[in-house]
Structure 1
Amino acid sequence: MPSADASQPALADAAASWPVTGSGDLHRDGWVVALRADQVQRPGHPEEEPFRRIVMEHPGAAVVLALDEQDRVLVLWQYRHAVGQVLVEIPAGLLDQGGETPEQVARRELVEETGWEASSWTHLVTTWPSPGISAERAHLFLARDLREVGRQGFVPEHEEAEAVTGWVPFEELHAAVLDGRVQDAPVIIAVLAARARGLA
């Protein structure tokens, strides 16, 4: 197999910051996300006009692929208004409490959304789901050694109040991902990452 071209950058994401010549809020109402418009300058090209980029500010999320001893996945069927569909999903939640690590959020969300907790946790991957517009960073975990504990006083509202939870064999979910019946990005990434790493 040929080695990477030495003239190419390293095969890893790298921090960078292009100059921003102006910025303004487009929408900010205190709920989870905000929109702003930045005027961005290409480095080393002061003769060029800055270009406009819309940024969705987002606190990030934690996502849980929970597997029981029979290799069944704990899934949710939940309505998502933006896409007009009930999606097959896995437990997930926002890093919006302050001071919590992604794993702590994953543990909390698993309990709140499903009433189950896990004693074994493995970080699968961290992703930028839509970096062309969103600053969201998603942390995906595999959870095992599950036990039912109830929702610990959490009362679901809105879409969550109508969500249905259930157990699906991993192989069936994997097949549904591959043939396009399940299209939620965190589910796809978690399932494929777990399989690729030999964890499911």
Structure 2
Amino acid sequence: MHLSRVAVALITNDRDEVLMLWRYRFATDAWGYELPGGIIDGDEESAATAAREAGEECGWLPTGEPEHLISFEPIPGMVTSEMDVYHWRGAERIGEPTDTEEAGTVEWVSLKRATKLAKERKLLGSGTLVALLYFLASRAEG
């Protein structure tokens, strides 16, 4: 089975926090944190998709140049659905979220909490989990 490509935005600020959504997912019957992201529309560049989704889902638009962190297939034994993750250092508040289907509570979450949240199964989805853990590991490597 082939699913659409997805782009994910990992946006950090100067307080070492990451922009996330706290929301409920019916399929897994779970509350947790997710990074903004979504399906890449048509010929849209994946970084543009990640930025657009952050604006729509969170009301924050990333600023500066994106850094491509990683691309991966979340479950290659079952489906193809490549995920591209981009990092921005900063964002500008543009208003309230406009995507009501992806509604959640927007929070700046301390990166120090990421591994604890992962262990507690409070990071929902492979896009969020892989993005945050890769980001933290690459920072540790210098």
Q: TM-score range by the shorter chain?
A: 0.7 to 0.9
CA contact (8 A) 2:36 2:57 kept: yes
SS of residue matched to 2:51? helix
Equivalent positions of 1:85-124 (< 5 A) are 85-95=30-40, 97-118=41-62, 119-124=64-69
Distance 1:100 1:123 in 2: 15
Runs of at least 4 residues off by over 4 Å: none
In structure 1, list runs of 5 or more residues that go unmatched. Answer: 1-54
In structure 2, list runs of 5 or more residues that go unmatched. Answer: none
Equivalent positions of 1:123-162 (< 5 A) are 123-150=68-95, 155-158=98-101, 160-161=102-103
Instruction: Give the superposition deviation at 1:134.
Output: 1.2
Q: TM-score, normalised by structure 1?
A: 0.64
CA contact (8 A) 2:5 2:83 kept: yes
Instruction: Kindly name which structure, 1 or 2, has the bigger radius of gyration based on alpha carbons.
Output: 1
What are the superposed Cα offsets for residues 26-69 of structure 1, whole Å, 9 maximum, x if unpaired?
xxxxxxxxxxxxxxxxxxxxxxxxxxxxx2x2111001111011
2:120 pairs with 167, 173, 180, which one? 180
RMSD: 1.9
- Among all aligned residue pairs of Structure 1 and Structure 2, give the percentage whose two residues are the same amino acid: 27
More RCO (CA 8 Å, sep 6+): 2
Which structure's residues are more often helix, by fraction? 2
CA contact (8 A) 1:116 1:150 kept: yes
What are the superposed Cα offsets for residues 71-107 of structure 1, whole Å, 9 maximum, x if unpaired?
1111111221111112211101111x21101111011
CA contact (8 A) 1:120 1:145 kept: no
